[in-house]
């Protein structure tokens, strides 16, 4: 039976264990390598599960594990907003 850990990125427990065996033994490196926690849920469930798997596979204490860097998702900006001069900027006379 396959256990899905991250539904957003379709990652299984097997994927995470394999990455740990390849040397990705920190939450931050797992996140960057597998895109763990980078989906729409922003890791609300999967990072906790990944931390448990990491603890089991490496023997590290939870206190040793640093939180991965949080980066809010970006939103598209219309080009017209970027192309128009700012109010009160240098281009205004």
pLDDT in tens, 49-67: 999 999 999 988 877 777 7
**Which residue in the block uniquely carries the two structure tokens 């206190």?**
63
Question: Which of the residues in the chain have pLDDT under 50?
Answer: none
Nearest CA among 73, 2, 3, 76 for reference residue 43: 73
Report d(CA 58, CA 32) in Å as an integer: 18
pLDDT at position 91: 52
- The CATH architecture of the domain made up of 4-83 is Orthogonal Bundle (1.10)
* Average pLDDT across the chain, whole number: 83
- Give domain limits for the chain: 4-83
Q: How far is CA 42 from the centre of its chain?
A: 7
What letter would DSSP give residue 38?
-
Whether the model pTM is above 0.75: no
């Amino acid at each position: 039976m396959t256990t899905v850990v991250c539904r957003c990125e379709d990652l299984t427990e097997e994927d995470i264990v394999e990455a740990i065996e390849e040397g990705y033994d920190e939450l931050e490196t797992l996140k960057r390598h597998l895109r763990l926690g980078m989906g729409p849920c922003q890791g609300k469930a999967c990072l906790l599960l990944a931390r448990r798997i990491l603890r089991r596979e490496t023997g590290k204490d939870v206190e040793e594990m640093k939180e991965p860097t949080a980066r809010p998702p970006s939103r598209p900006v219309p080009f017209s907003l970027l192309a128009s001069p700012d109010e009160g900027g240098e281009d205004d006379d």
